[in-house]
Structure 1
Amino acid sequence: MDYRDIEIFLEISRTHNITKAAENLFLSQTSVSHRLKRLEAELGAPLITRQRGMRSLEFTPRGEAFIPLAKRWMDLYKEVEICINGPEMTLSIGAIHSVNPGFLYPLIQRMIQEKHGLTIYLSQMSSIDLYKAIENQQIDIGFVGFRYHRPHVHVRPILRQTLCVVSQSPNFCPNTVISPQELDPQLEIYSYWGPEYQAWHDRRWSPAFRPCVVTDSMSNVSLLLSGGDYWSILPSNLAFDLVQTSNLKMYQLSDPPPERVCYMITHQFPKAGHKQAINIFNQILAQTENEHHELPLQI
């Protein structure tokens, strides 16, 4: 069974039109029709109903049944190609949105520059989803915002981040230090920074005073802080990035919350084919720790 024949059949199944399928695949209509007939001959049954005047193709029962099989065949073909001709190693990394880009991205860039012959898959997830993904071995390395016990998941503290206030309010004092008592909890754009932070937050402001917005998106925070007396507490690296590109100001808290700790998580028993890539990442991480003592900050 030919890859190109299956590709053409699947495009026909998507468009229900041979002319359109030919255009999308940059082939002639004659070539598409010929390959479709060849596939039908190989399968020993017609796949489409051929009637004059029909603007949209209809599939025979055999054709309808073959569509999901063709998709699975195509997926398997691609997996075999990757296995034979793809990179020798792959590394899947997941991180929460607020992990310091100045920490994670240089590590990845260094792995790329050193040409270890691997492909890196980088994704963004919540901490809970990252723990589940590591436990199920869907990713190799995760960076999360809090400890959470899961079977066979190794948790290592990797980075400390101070928290500060960001606001555009003209009513704040001109000093760079602000007291929690000066902040109206009902004007807060709230993000969750872990259980220690939440305990500190609940001691400073009664849970009865709910924030006006709760979000885990930094783009939302930036937009919502663009007017009025709204404020938010953010890791200093994220706050600094926002201040550089807007009219926002940063304030230190006179009674600050505990430093936020980020953790690196890995599976206790990584897949055999991924161990080398994980070891390379750990080696580069160790080199970074030796070269730059301030990033990451070990605990």
Structure 2
Amino acid sequence: MNKTIKLTASAHYVPAKIVKNQKLSQIMDTNDQWIQQHTGIQTRHYATKQNTSDLGAKVAQQLLHASGLTAAEVDLIVVATITPDALTPATAVLVQQKIGAVNALAFDVSAACSGFIFALSTAEKFLRSGQYQHAIVIASEVNSKMLDFQDRTSAVFFGDGAGGVLLSTTADPTLELFRGEKLLTKPAPEMIHSGRIPVIQKIAADQYPTLDAFYQDGRAVYNFVTTNVPRYLKKFLLEQHVKNQQIGLVVPHQANLRLIEQLSQQLDIPLSRFAINVAEYGNTSSAGVAIGLDQALKAGKHPEYALLTGFGAGLTFGGMLLNLSQVK
């Protein structure tokens, strides 16, 4: 049985510790001028005493408060992350425990910087089934714990944060949130990767699991985004019979400001319609879109056509159209 889905609440959270470019220039060969010129990033937040589930739980608690629901009324929790507390249990399960959502199904989605869009798509399908009424969808990342602070090509970009929404089913079709989506993966595992775990080389007492730090081929990523993402989005909008002039809000992955500027130019959508938080928060991976959506809603932006787009390791791509005109 198909159900109408509405956006009941949105929220975001970033840890208190602010790290300026000057601080990074003290531990690696870089400087504030270079970072701002190439990325537009001025500051980022690091979670020095909080893990990914802690940030996610903060968002979940805000969502419950804003919606007026109790944790026991939540049926589903989906957390998008590539920086989980652990390989298992899922970070979503830890969020579930921390907020006391005793009746929920909880699991993680790993789709890198497209993760929030993939998680929204997943939750939407669960809610459409009619078996679930209220879903919390969160993107939460503590990127700082996965960085190699000797790798200036990656470390200067990333920050920590979380954002999310609470979705609910409703009998009122005028409140429908979702207009359309396009999700893609294009295998290129060497371009961006993090947390690889090597297989054992021997059976011995000193054999112990390890994992690697975050890595990206910055030039290759830039070329992929500027070449492919605008083409994907133009095709997606064409398939949805939506013209770029109709798009009142674009919430992009916060990779860096220069990429967002490129998207604005190639899509012929004014930069003023883009939700941008990368200068203050850095690249928060999957959380950037979730944070940007909450910020836009809090700023009173409720267009009939809002375009969410994420792109990242995999390579993954997500495009989603939302109707925010009825969101209170």
Establish whether TM, by shorter chain, passes 0.5.
Answer: no
Q: TM-score, normalization: structure 2?
A: 0.22
Q: Tell me the TM-score normalised to structure 1 length.
A: 0.24
User: Whose helix proportion is higher, 1 or 2?
Assistant: 1
